[in-house]
Structure 1
């Protein structure tokens, strides 16, 4: 696969009938939900699931999505969505990149970048990342 960066975390997706909009292709909002799903699964793989977030009273919350929609996905398409953690300040911010590919023809449907900020769940306010976040997310950092 022609991934933009080395060693991606990848999830498999399939465009379902419920994902199709009035124009006959996957709705743009569906792509955003896939980005969230991919980021969560990667976090879970790194040992930082919702239970751990609650225990630590911390979470990584989206503050910005930048999405380039490059090609349409259609009902039945089998897709792969990759993510990489490409930047973080080890205090508050972390950035992920994403690439959505249709393996059948190698077409990249989407490239995206999401910025997250660490928040305290109990207050909703920005708070410094706990050591567990540094230990979990740090080894996943890729050159971006």
Structure 2
């Protein structure tokens, strides 16, 4: 399996999909990418992609770090600054620990714990603050 640059809200990052079995993903990437497995997660290439799953092994959410070079519609990508978010979106809301933009559900930038709620994104984080992770989820 080659990791793609495609991000699909509520579905996938890099070709790894919510709802897939983690063991199948591990087998598909074996020998091509470095991976680290923990109780409820599989990390690929030092966080390039992380897949999170329950005890049944079914992936429930996926993240990527700024080494992942894909983006979603030139609006969202890991490694964005607050200035980038404001420039590439019309509306930003804090939702469940993530910044969601333009009412696009199932995809978001991970907020730091101390700033997991905001009225205006720039009021809480400086314009040069970098969002290290982008997440895809279906909750």
Please state which band the TM-score falls in when normalised by the shorter chain. under 0.3
Question: Greater helix share, 1 or 2?
Answer: 1
TM-score, reference length from structure 2: 0.24
TM-score, reference length from structure 1: 0.24
Question: Greater strand share, 1 or 2?
Answer: 1
Larger Rg computed on CA atoms: 1
